Structure 1
């Protein structure tokens, strides 16, 4: 049995890496070998080994499978800006073929791959390529991370509709309470539950500065595996 998920978000900074890591950890607890992937990453830092993404390194640490960094993060970009702009600054063209080749090598090492997108669902990666097209080519069901803050209803519903129109299964959605000032959180979640035709998989509470990993999120991995296999 094999598979995986593509993790997207309503925006940048909503917790895609956190959710991807938690999924990898849940797969390991369920006894499955899993690998993480961050095909495109902006804002990478310089190391002796080359540009490195903190997000990609976190996924590698959570993975149960050893993999080459170049396959986990085929496109490491220096500037902390939109990926197509960061790629242009470096004279790099982000190619779908290269991403798929890296993904296939990860699949050969691990039956389960969790892929984290960059930015939101439709972020451009070049003149023709978008993150949505990468997700479609990978063929993985999608998990949508909803950053709970003012405006999240519109962002979440538009993203869920775009995923539906792309013909890609939406495995479910996750809420992440990123704005401590947001009011009426339960009511917002209830509204999304009524309108998104996919299950609410987990609710990640607002994280404490002293307990940054106290998420309390539990993913129904077994149920998702059965549903999409």
Structure 2
């Protein structure tokens, strides 16, 4: 069983697209999968309760199927930082509770590949003491880093990689996701930026996803030239 934490260089870097695509890739290889987004803000009210679109995308790619509550146990309506959304809902986010819930889920729902998606970037707060990065740190999970490819991504990616290393964790691989189509207009400069990332990030590039008109696991999958997922076992 392989479990990874997926983080990004920023909000809207492409974490959910990458996570759902990796899960779809694993399913296509005949592996069982589970996508988890323990905390999500920015959700809509439905007849069955609050639902977050990112968590729903991960639920679709979890095979065999699991309940929404398994994928996303903490869900909030406003599209703001999770700790602020929790405060507005008179709830408290606690890293110990989140880690305990995730641990129970992993024990009860063992899959060949499990991906736990964070929210925003590496240092997004859970409360005034804990950050999202404390989840993979306490669980000692390898990290998949999603780099939102746009102006400024070199700094964001390198600082995030340094923070992950400072927390004692390993980057298992990184994926580039073009979030600004204008960033690729100068192909030579775009290639030069990718070269810097490949030379400076302490992990292999798992793929570069271009800006897609209709982003989905189906449209993104051809751009992720991954090794067999069984080779990405947690040490």
Q: Report the TM-score range of the alignment, normalised by the length of the smaller protein.
A: over 0.9
| Cross-structure match for 1:104 | 103
**Alpha-carbon distance between aligned partners in 2 of 1:221 and 1:206, rounded to the nearest angstrom:** 23
| Cross-structure match for 1:25 | 24
Asked whether 1:151 is paired with 2:152, we answer yes
**Alpha-carbon distance between aligned partners in 2 of 1:48 and 1:42, rounded to the nearest angstrom:** 18
Change beyond 3 A, Cα 1:46–1:226: closer
TM (norm. structure 1) is: 0.93
TM (norm. structure 2) is: 0.90
Q: Deviations over 1:99-129 (max 9, x none)?
A: 2233234322232311110000000011111
Asked whether 1:35 is paired with 2:37, we answer no
The answer as to whether partners of 1:12 and 1:119 remain within 8 angstroms in 2 is yes
| Cross-structure match for 1:222 | 228
Change beyond 3 A, Cα 1:190–1:57: same
Q: Deviations over 1:165-188 (max 9, x none)?
A: 111110011001111111421110
Asked whether 1:131 is paired with 2:137, we answer no
- Counterparts of 1:1-229 in structure 2 under 5 Å? 2-107=1-106, 108-111=108-111, 112-182=113-183, 183=186, 184-209=189-214, 213-215=218-220, 216-222=222-228, 225-226=231-232, 228-229=234-235
Q: CA deviation at 1:140?
A: 1.8
**Alpha-carbon distance between aligned partners in 2 of 1:223 and 1:54, rounded to the nearest angstrom:** 25
Change beyond 3 A, Cα 1:60–1:93: same
Q: CA deviation at 1:155?
A: 0.3
Q: Secondary structure at the match of 2:182?
A: coil
Unaligned stretches of 5+ in structure 2?
A: none
Unaligned stretches of 5+ in structure 1?
A: none
Change beyond 3 A, Cα 1:71–1:102: farther
- 4+ runs of 1 displaced by more than 4 Å? none
**Alpha-carbon distance between aligned partners in 2 of 1:7 and 1:165, rounded to the nearest angstrom:** 17
The answer as to whether partners of 2:141 and 2:234 remain within 8 angstroms in 1 is no
**Alpha-carbon distance between aligned partners in 2 of 1:11 and 1:140, rounded to the nearest angstrom:** 20
Q: CA deviation at 1:48?
A: 1.7
Q: Deviations over 1:173-228 (max 9, x none)?
A: 1001111111421110100111111101111012125x765222225242663553
Aligned length: 227
Change beyond 3 A, Cα 1:65–1:30: same
